[in-house]
Amino acid sequence: MMHVDRPGLFSVLQDRGRYGSQRLGVPVNGAMDEWSHRLANILVGNPESYATLECTLAGPSVTFDRDTLIAMAGAPMTVTVDGIAIPHERAVLVKRDAKVIAGKCPAGARAYLAVRGGFATEPVLGSRSTFVRGGFGGFEGRALRKGDRLPVHEADVGYAGLRALLLRSGMPFVNGPAWRAHSPAAPGGVLRFLRGPQWDAFTDEAHERFTAQVYRADSRSDRMGYRLQGPALELRRPLELVSEPVNFGTVQVPPDGQPIVLMADRQGAGGYPKIAYVISADLPALAQTLPGDSVGFGEVALDEAEHAWLDFERRLAALRAMVLEELQEVPEPFLHATPLGQTT
């Protein structure tokens, strides 16, 4: 069990998303930064589909009722265990009842806490992701509150010798092996995109502005969509559209000409013109954008987008292979896990 002493600013359980129910009007949800979510799970030996705790801007203070292997990935929040800082993006065995405190993000927006064995909340429509607007999934369909008690699957501590080292050291935690896992960030801070179905409906000036100018994330940005402020994108002529499917990374342009990039909690369909799609490999970088941060766009061909995603997957697969080789045994929930890439 994980006990919440302080909930953080906005801490919600998320996995890789709730697929298969969009036709019913149910959003996919899931982690905003897929790379960091999957990385945290890999570090503790979980399937990448297991839920992690997505912590936005400021993290929680928690304790565990047994020795627990944890890892924090994503934005470099300062995390301490009984007042001692632990390394970022590295598995750490935390002693029972030791106080784990996640602070504020000095950079980036979101960090992801994984626990070995995974959180044991009840899946809804095949996923443990939290849909706050709908009030379901995750833990009671909401962000954490003080006094919450989140169930965690029982599991071994993972890496050989860590428990003995914890006992001998007398410390509140001990570190697992160090791994290098550098995120494939968007080149030069520019988000790569593919042209959307209504690209040609926008003026040549709009195309130039979109690819040459800088936009800033608006304070109204959230998990549903990132509103951007900058040069207005104008249509050649008024355009009425029948609503059509949208995806994570779809760039819609409402009548005011200010683009909106749809994010993890997006709706299933939209009727605004779609000028572009941010490629999947660059969405984690976008997910770490804060209000006021600059955002630029650069067009790429489909084959470059595909190669970027293959590189994304290769990096994670290589790390996963190294970690699993070091683990002394597989946690019980792992034995019954769904295949990688599917939701729990």
Q: What is the mean pLDDT of residues 231-241?
A: 94
Q: What is the mean pLDDT of the chain?
A: 92
Lookup result for tokens 């160090």: 178
Does the structure show a pLDDT above 50 at 237? yes
pLDDT of res. 337: 37
For 187-304, CATH gives 2.40.100.10
Does the structure show a pLDDT above 50 at 340? no
**CA-CA distance, 113 to 73, in Å (whole number)?**
7
Residue 79 gets which letter from DSSP? Answer: E
The region of weakest confidence among 29-43, 166-180, 247-261 is 166-180
Q: What is the mean pLDDT of residues 7-17?
A: 97
Model confidence at 321, pLDDT cuts 50, 70, 90, reads: very high
**CA-CA distance, 141 to 163, in Å (whole number)?**
34
pLDDT of res. 182: 73
Tokens of 317: 């697969």
- At how many degrees (to 10) do helices 302-326 and 34-43 cross? 20
Cα–Cα distances in angstroms (integers) from residue 40 to residues 35, 61, 219, in the given order: 9, 18, 28
Taking only the tens place, the pLDDT of each residue in 282-299 is 999 999 999 999 999 999
Tell me which of 35 and 178 has the higher pLDDT: 35
Tokens of 186: 């968007």
The region of weakest confidence among 167-171, 255-259, 340-344 is 340-344
pLDDT of res. 342: 40
**CA-CA distance, 203 to 8, in Å (whole number)?**
44
Domain ranges of the chain: 2-184+320-335, 187-304
Does the structure show a pLDDT above 90 at 330? no
Helix (H) or strand (E) holding 320: helix 302-326
Q: Are 94 and 102 in contact (CB under 8 A)?
A: no
**CA-CA distance, 308 to 289, in Å (whole number)?**
20
Helix (H) or strand (E) holding 245: strand 244-245
Comparing C-alpha atoms, which of 323, 24, 28 is closest to residue 176?
Answer: 323
Does the structure show a pLDDT above 50 at 334? no
pLDDT of res. 328: 60
Does the structure show a pLDDT above 60 at 331? no
Helix (H) or strand (E) holding 191: strand 190-195
The region of weakest confidence among 1-10, 144-153, 205-214, 320-329 is 320-329
Q: What is the mean pLDDT of residues 296-315?
A: 96
β-bridge mates for residue 263, sequence order: none
Residue 281 gets which letter from DSSP? Answer: G
Taking only the tens place, the pLDDT of each residue in 109-145 is 999 999 999 999 999 999 999 999 999 999 999 999 9
Please work out, in degrees rounded to the nearest 5, the angle formed at the alpha carbon of residue 69 by the alpha carbons of 108 and 320: 70
Residue 150's contacts (CB-CB under 8 Å, 6 or more residues apart) are 1, 2, 4, 13, 119, 121, 139, 144
Residue 62 gets which letter from DSSP? Answer: E
Residue 55's contacts (CB-CB under 8 Å, 6 or more residues apart) are 8, 9, 10, 11, 77, 102, 110, 111, 112, 113
Comparing C-alpha atoms, which of 83, 62, 79 is closest to residue 147?
Answer: 62
Read off the pTM: 0.93
Please work out, in degrees rounded to the nearest 5, the angle formed at the alpha carbon of residue 254 by the alpha carbons of 195 and 35: 55
Tokens of 114: 């994984």
